[in-house]
């Protein structure tokens, strides 16, 4: 799949789209083991077993929510990755504000929230050997279109559609994210 409007050198140049997948994070790790190229991106319309932090499930039940993971394969010192998850959150909040006039907040270290309810999350994983990061696998999930939530999370989760009645084009958002976030990776000398 080719993402239109992508202005990156690496991030998203190799893009794989699934209508349904167990987890974009699991898939990208499998591709890493198969020697996927730097910047590989996996997008899913639905995840049946999305991964959140602390082993929790990330629900992506309806199409057009945002669910993607990407692989960064450039060795760097662990110190260069400090604060990376917050940097990702800032990029997400910035895009939502500048492109859609939606004001979201960051609940450190990895949640995007509005009115105390979780709208999105970031999962940053890495393979580290002797203080050197061999690869980063980053997963992002944002509830854009989800309107009904499971009983156990309906009081703590929401979506862009429910809170703002705005529809976000997931592929456009992912392109904007890749374009913006690759700059951050280059500034940190991770890409």
**Kind and range of the H or E element at 138?**
strand 132-142
In a domain, 106, yes or no: yes
pLDDT for 160-174, tens place per residue?
999 999 999 999 999
In a domain, 122, yes or no: yes
In a domain, 4, yes or no: no
| Number of domain units in the chain | 1
Q: How many residues does the chain have?
A: 191
pLDDT for 126-148, tens place per residue?
999 999 999 999 999 999 988 88
In a domain, 161, yes or no: yes
* pLDDT value, residue 52: 59
* pLDDT value, residue 131: 92
In a domain, 7, yes or no: no
In a domain, 9, yes or no: no
Residue-range definition of the domain harbouring residue 76 = 15-187
* pLDDT value, residue 32: 95
List the CATH number of the domain containing 132.
3.30.930.10
Average pLDDT (42-52) is 81
Residue 97's DSSP bridge partners are none
Average pLDDT (61-90) is 90
**Stronger pLDDT, 49 or 95, i.e. the higher one:** 95
* pLDDT value, residue 2: 87
* Residue 64, pLDDT above cutoff 70: no
The pLDDT mean for the chain works out to 91
Distance separating alpha carbons of residues 11 and 37, to the nearest angstrom: 10
């Amino acid at each position: 799949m080719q993402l239109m409007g992508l202005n990156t050198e690496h991030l998203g140049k190799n893009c794989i789209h699934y209508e349904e997948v167990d987890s974009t994070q699991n898939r990208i790790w499998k591709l890493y083991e198969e020697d996927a190229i730097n910047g590989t991106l996996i997008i899913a319309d639905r995840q049946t077993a999305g991964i959140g932090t602390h082993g929790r499930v990330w629900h992506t039940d309806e199409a057009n929510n945002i669910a993607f993971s990407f692989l960064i394969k450039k060795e760097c010192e662990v110190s260069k990755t400090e604060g990376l998850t917050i940097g990702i959150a800032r990029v997400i909040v910035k895009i939502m504000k500048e492109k859609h006039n939606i004001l979201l907040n960051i609940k450190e270290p990895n949640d995007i929230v509005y009115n105390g309810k979780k709208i999105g999350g970031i999962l940053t994983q890495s393979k580290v050997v002797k203080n050197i990061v061999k690869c980063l696998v980053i997963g992002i999930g944002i509830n854009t279109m989800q309107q009904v939530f499971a009983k156990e999370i309906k009081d703590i989760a929401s979506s862009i559609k429910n809170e703002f009645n705005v529809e976000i084009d997931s592929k456009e958002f992912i392109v904007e994210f890749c374009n913006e976030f690759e700059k951050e990776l280059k500034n940190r000398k991770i890409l």
